[in-house]
Amino acid sequence: MNVSHAWLARFVPHGRSPEAIRDLLTAHVATVEGLESLRPDLVPFVVGQVIASEKIPETKLSYNSVDDGSGTLLEVVCGAPNVTVGAKYPFARTGTTMPGGLVIEKRKIRGFTSNGMLCSARELGLGEDHDGILTLETSAAPGTPFLEVFPTGDVRIVVDVLPNRPDLLSHRGVAREVAALTGVALQMPEELAALPALTAAVVRGGQEGTAGGITVRIADRADCPQYAAAVIEGMAVGPSPAWLRAAVEAVGGRSINNLVDATNYLLHGFGQPVHAFDAARLGGATLEVRRARAGETLVTLDGASRTLAPNMLVIADGSAPTALAGVMGGQGSEVTESTTRVVLEVAEFAPALVRTTRRAVGLSTDASYRFERGIDGGALEEMLKIGAALLAQVGGGKVTGLVHLGEAPSARPVVTVRPARVAAVLGDAVPAAEIAALLTSVGCAVAASGANGALAVTPPSWRHDIHREVDGIEEVARLRGFERLPDALQGARPGTVPDHPLWVAYRRLRDALVAEGAHEVRPLPFVRGEDASHVRVRNPLAEDEPHLRRSLLESLARRAEYNLTRMQGDVRLFEVGAVFRPSSAALPHEEHRVAALVMGSRRPVHFSEPQPPAYDAWDAKALGERMAAVAHPGAVVTLRAAGEATGALWEIVADDQVVGEIRQLALDAPVWARPAFGIELMLGAMPSAPVAPPQSHAHGTATSQERRAPVRFRTLPTTPAAEFDLALLVPDAVEAAAVEAVLREAGGALLERCVLFDEFRGTGVAEGFRSLAWRLTFRHPERTLKEKEIEGRRQQLLSAVETRLDVRPRVA
Amino acid sequence: MTLSEFLASVEQLAADAPAQIAATATLDEWTAVRTALVGRQAGRITDLMTGLAALPKEAKREAGQRVNAVKATIEAALDARQAALEAAAQGASTPLDRSMPGRAHWRGAVHPVSQVIDEVVEIFRELGFTIALGPEAEGAWYNFGALNFPADHPAMDMHDTLYLGADQVLRTHTSPVQVRTLQQYPPPVRILAPGNVYRRDFFDPSHAPMFAQVEGLVVDEGVTFADLKATLSHFARRFFGAETTTRFRPSFFPFTEPSAEMDVRCGVCRGAGCGVCKQSGWIEILGAGMVHPAVLEAAGLDSETYTGWAFGMGPARTALSRHGIPDIRILYDSDVRVLDQFVS
Ligand SMILES: [Zn+2]
């Protein structure tokens, strides 16, 4: 909402600077986003102080030393008679463009160099004063912007009005707040003081009425609670008077003509959108508010031809729709240069219907914006009278008929405001009298109601946002000022909500993966996907990525490819995030997962290792095991070879549940890229079923957090261990894990460790075989093992693998 | 040999030995010197000990004490030299250029937005807040209806929504977690709800279709707007620095009443107005307010008994400004050269 500082002052003579109004509104009403000078041409001018001055002989000129705050005194020639040493004047530095278009340049006058110009009021476009340069009575330092010490021209105050306060979408609305906050009384702007008196009486009716030869009709009062019109004859369309043009331009509009400008005055001045029809261009002498019929068309003022539908509200003349109600007029009945008889529409349309209509046609206007949010239905007849008189005045016409269908809304329901509740919500006791005064100041009718100082508050017709006690409490809080509320930190009871387990898992995984050297990412979850398998966004941002991902690796793979296109081949990324899949439940199935992607060198280059090895499947396997152990603490984690169909290397199993997988990723990669491996693990479903039906809760059903069994301490051994290696020739068809299982079983309770430490193929190893070597550690808890016992173990192990797996030792 | 002749040779040894010991450059040389000085066969101390026997009885005592003292000094010097030589031998088998780099591991990093969330969480943890989460694919009732959004109202225009179905949305804010939490757990509730939210905003330097939010909620008996002010001002001072000034402006959210926006004094211009704060002198940090009674009622709570306050903030904006990142898309691109700058 653009508020003109000058126009505002005509509604409430507050006597405050734009800056003061900005601070007042921001602190108590709505945020002011900025102040815009409507004399931007004066922005470059600064305060200059004359430090020394001497006459140039045989001329009227003086040669002056001017301080412009730059730190260097400037020599300036001036022709004015009133130059006084020590005085301050508006000063144009070289390079400044004067309001007339002249650019001030360094130049020589009578052999004296002049570096700028001391300015008169006339030169600044501030009047016709010929008496010389403009003396500034100010204590401001040289160099201060001229506009700060000599506020000139109007200032536009840009207010961010939120949807709950449509009453602030007008100068009168903002003025009401300024009046409430400053105590200065609201008044009618002086330009409305001399409006011609209306002689025509207002014809009232329910759904139909005639005045000034025009019949108006409302088809359904639910669509249009009130419709008023004025008929004005003898109008002359022409330029607007200066004050009207200034008002329209101050809010950012363009002056069109006296008629159109006057309708805009009502909109911006009072928040009432109105529309002027050329009576001569209406098809018949009727205006009807009705739903559009399927197939009807209308050419709106912007020249677009629009096909209408029954969910839209129109104003129809005798033959066809001639305006889109509350949104935009039609070209067919638009006022033109030759208009003499005008029908002025002043109406209240159903907000939801205007919203539907403007969305259906894709057209938001100043009018629809206000109707959607709600206008002041209580002011409709006032607006009709002011509007009719204003049009008659600026157009030199005469009001010949006034009609008003429907009624002003009845008083709003009473809201009870209890001082004790005000204190309970705000944390500060506000006396009942102060509460009453504050609410009264913004137009509420306040009366005592019952015990304990309770107040019966009736909101004014223009406030659509005061329904409950707490709405009244908000008024009290903001009008007094949030800054007046105490803010000492108080103690509080501990909450009942445990940390969400998925958050705990996220933090543990993140620490582990960062320690592994990976970078956390937070990418978008949109993917190409397919309707059959993926959840589709109904109104996607990009048609080529309309689905939600089913897997985090889908996102990580794209991010790795992005890095490859930027020549980055060493990529280690991870994410903890949500994936989605279609579900027959009310909402898609949502699950939180962790995924990591590794590609490129396993370590940074070091002089001891100029070409570090690249990540391979074994790195991925170990990382997967680590992630699974962190994600599923206490669970038994195993990795098993994944089935062919999955395309994965391993699946990750925690306590017999498949919780994830490890795979080599097929990236869109350049030839120099190293293989990329991905690990993805499920952390848990994110329940999205309703916790409880609306207006109810499910307290008491929460289960306590599962606690992990503590680690049991194991006594350290006191006896020495015996260690030996076994190199076995293992056929390719036999898995190392199978051999190890036999070794562990045959090794019995005294086998402490069994580590595969070598694999070899080649010389001395037959085709179809590999040599695998294990290092075995035996220990007896109470005594030292004898040589003979150890040798016996070795033989037992060899015979076990031979009989069970037909695996024999490798003979060197 | 007279006593004086004997003592002279002891003093000669005491004078020679330190230089001999210091001159050894290797452990082999040291062994030779040790043998020459204190060796059992032909060491000079051993010789003196032998010579001691030939002295007159009355001189033995004084001479013996002196020999023992010199012996102790020499042995100490030998031990010290041995330790030094051994240390040198270990380190300097090949010369070590200690200016060369150590063998590093890759370093990982937490995403800059997560780092901001962590700091927020850390501060509220001290005040007894715990972490609640909720689904990103959310029902329209939790996202709008329960939060007191009037159906088909301009307030909805503030949330340009991505729909998954007629009543299914990608949540437009973390506020649905308020309702879910209040339905599940009885007051007192003191939670933070970090998470991703979605808007139908096309990517541009300052907008993203998905971004992180941190929601905060307190519900109990006797909770007031003064508590909101106190807690959030405390947060601002802990987050931005002890001298941080805050202000609260009236605002509007359907689910809070009264509603406010909290600003902190611009740290760049200290309130004078600059490009960072768009000349206002203030930086908007979060939206907040007293939980609307309708929200408490939607969660089945008695809105007369309980009051509460809530806030929501966007950590991405803080991350952009604190690191001087010019374009929000950089946070999503995941270029490893960018991510690696945020190693903490
Ligand atoms: Zn600033």
* CATH value at residue A746: 3.30.70.380
What is the average per-residue pLDDT within B78-91? 82
Answer yes or no: is pLDDT of A104 > 60: yes
Which structural domain, as residue segments, surrounds residue B18?
A: 3-93
Q: Across the interface, do A520 and B111 touch by the CB < 8 Å criterion?
A: yes
Shortest CA distance from A589: residue in chain B: B137
CA distance B34 to chain A (A): 39
Same domain? A523 vs A626:
yes
Answer yes or no: is pLDDT of A704 > 60: no
pLDDT, tens only, A662-691 = 999 999 999 999 999 999 999 999 999 999
B132 — contact with chain A (CB < 8 Å)?
yes
Among B residues 32-91, those touching chain A with beta carbons less than 8 Å apart: none
Assigned domain for B227 exists:
yes
pLDDT, tens only, A611-625 = 999 999 999 999 999
Q: How many separate domains does chain B show?
A: 2
Give the DSSP H or E segment for A592: strand A589-599
**Do residues A163 and B153 make contact, with C-beta atoms less than 8 angstroms apart?**
yes
Q: Across the interface, do A477 and B300 touch by the CB < 8 Å criterion?
A: no
Size (chain A), residues = 812
Same domain? B199 vs B315:
yes
Assigned domain for B209 exists:
yes
Domain boundary among B66, B93, B120: B93
Angstrom distance (rounded) from CA A121 to CA A142: 18
**Do residues A332 and A314 make contact, with C-beta atoms less than 8 angstroms apart?**
no
pLDDT, tens only, A765-797 = 999 999 999 999 999 999 999 999 999 999 999
Please, what is the average pLDDT of chain A? 93
CA distance A427 to chain B (A): 5
**Of B17 and B297, which is predicted with more confidence?**
B297
**Using CA of residue B197, residue B200, residue B203, residue B206, what is the dihedral sign?**
negative
pTM of the predicted model as reported, rounded to 2 decimal places: 0.84
Q: How many separate domains does chain A show?
A: 6
Same domain? A308 vs A366:
yes
- The DSSP output letter for A305 is E
**Do residues A708 and A693 make contact, with C-beta atoms less than 8 angstroms apart?**
no
Same domain? A588 vs A636:
yes
pLDDT, tens only, B26-43 = 888 888 888 888 887 778
Assigned domain for A496 exists:
no
Q: What is the pLDDT of residue A550?
A: 97
Q: What is the pLDDT of residue A701?
A: 59
What is the average per-residue pLDDT within B236-248? 95
Assigned domain for B107 exists:
no
Please, what is the average pLDDT of chain B? 91
Number of H helices, E strands in chain B: 12, 10
DSSP reduced 3-state for A418: coil
Assigned domain for B105 exists:
no
Domain boundary among A384, A405, A426: A405
Residues with CB under 5 A from ligand 1 (ion): B 266, 268-269, 274, 276-277
Q: How confident is the model at residue A59 (pLDDT cuts 50, 70, 90)?
A: confident
Same domain? A507 vs A591:
yes
Same domain? A672 vs A734:
no
Same domain? B256 vs B135:
yes
Q: Is B89 exposed, middle or buried (0-12, 13-18, 19+ CB in 10 A)?
A: exposed
Same domain? B131 vs B239:
yes
Strand segments, DSSP code E, in A673-749 are 676-685, 722-731
Q: What is the CATH number of the domain that holds A139?
A: 2.40.50.140
Q: What is the CATH number of the domain that holds B150?
A: 3.30.930.10
Q: What is the pLDDT of residue B14?
A: 85
Assigned domain for B72 exists:
yes
Shortest CA distance from B220: residue in chain A: A493
Same domain? A513 vs A389:
no
Same domain? B212 vs B169:
yes
CA distance B17 to chain A (A): 45
User: In B, which residues are within 8 Å of A31 by CB distance?
Assistant: 249, 251, 261
**Of A660 and A488, which is predicted with more confidence?**
A660
Which residue from A349, A347, A348, A324 is spatially nearest to A334, judged by alpha carbons?
A324
Question: Which residues on neighbouring strands pair with residue A290, listed in sequence order?
Answer: A314
Assigned domain for B143 exists:
yes
Same domain? A31 vs A46:
no
Angstrom distance (rounded) from CA B110 to CA A521: 8
Contacts of A716-721 spanning 24+ positions with Cβ under 8 A: A717/A779, A717/A781, A719/A779, A719/A780, A719/A781, A719/A782, A719/A783, A719/A784, A720/A779, A720/A784, A721/A752, A721/A777, A721/A778, A721/A779
pLDDT, tens only, A108-138 = 888 888 999 999 888 888 877 767 899 998 8
Q: How far is the CA of B281 from the centre of ligand 1 (A)?
A: 5
What is the average per-residue pLDDT within A255-275? 96
Answer yes or no: is pLDDT of A705 > 70: no
Assigned domain for A495 exists:
no
Shortest CA distance from A502: residue in chain B: B133
Q: How confident is the model at residue A100 (pLDDT cuts 50, 70, 90)?
A: confident
Amino acid at the residue A576: V
Which structural domain, as residue segments, surrounds residue A469?
A: 415-484
User: In B, which residues are within 8 Å of A518 by CB distance?
Assistant: 106, 108
Same domain? B74 vs B154:
no
Assigned domain for B99 exists:
no
Same domain? A30 vs A45:
no
Answer yes or no: is pLDDT of B88 > 90: no
Same domain? B189 vs B318:
yes
Percent of chain B residues topping a pLDDT of 90? 62
Q: Across the interface, do A493 and B188 touch by the CB < 8 Å criterion?
A: yes
Same domain? B84 vs B177:
no
Same domain? A30 vs A73:
no
Q: What is the pLDDT of residue B91?
A: 67
Same domain? A423 vs A475:
yes
Same domain? B71 vs B157:
no
Assigned domain for A704 exists:
no
Same domain? A18 vs A46:
no
Angstrom distance (rounded) from CA A12 to CA A480: 20
ipTM summary value: 0.87
Domain boundary among B59, B93, B127: B93
Answer yes or no: is pLDDT of B159 > 90: no
Q: How far is the CA of B263 from the centre of ligand 1 (A)?
A: 12
In the 3-class helix/strand/coil scheme, how is A497-557 assigned residue by residue? CCCCHHHHHHHHHHHHHHHCCCEECCCCCEECCCCCCCEECCCCCCCCCCEECCCHHHHHH
Q: Across the interface, do B110 and A27 touch by the CB < 8 Å criterion?
A: no
B275 — contact with chain A (CB < 8 Å)?
no
Same domain? B129 vs B224:
yes
Assigned domain for A490 exists:
no
Assigned domain for B263 exists:
yes
**Do residues A382 and A212 make contact, with C-beta atoms less than 8 angstroms apart?**
no
Domain boundary among A405, A434, A452: A405
Angstrom distance (rounded) from CA A502 to CA B105: 29
Assigned domain for A172 exists:
yes
Which residue from B173, B141, B138 is spatially nearest to A590, judged by alpha carbons?
B138
Answer yes or no: is pLDDT of A205 > 80: yes
**Of A812 and A210, which is predicted with more confidence?**
A210
Q: What is the CATH number of the domain that holds A11?
A: 3.30.56.10
Same domain? B173 vs B264:
yes
Percent of chain A residues topping a pLDDT of 90? 84
Same domain? B75 vs B130:
no
Same domain? A305 vs A380:
yes
Shortest CA distance from A370: residue in chain B: B154
Q: How confident is the model at residue A812 (pLDDT cuts 50, 70, 90)?
A: low
Answer yes or no: is pLDDT of A40 > 90: no
Answer yes or no: is pLDDT of A702 > 60: no
Assigned domain for A691 exists:
no
Domain boundary among B93, B127, B153: B93
Shortest CA distance from A515: residue in chain B: B108
Same domain? B75 vs B129:
no
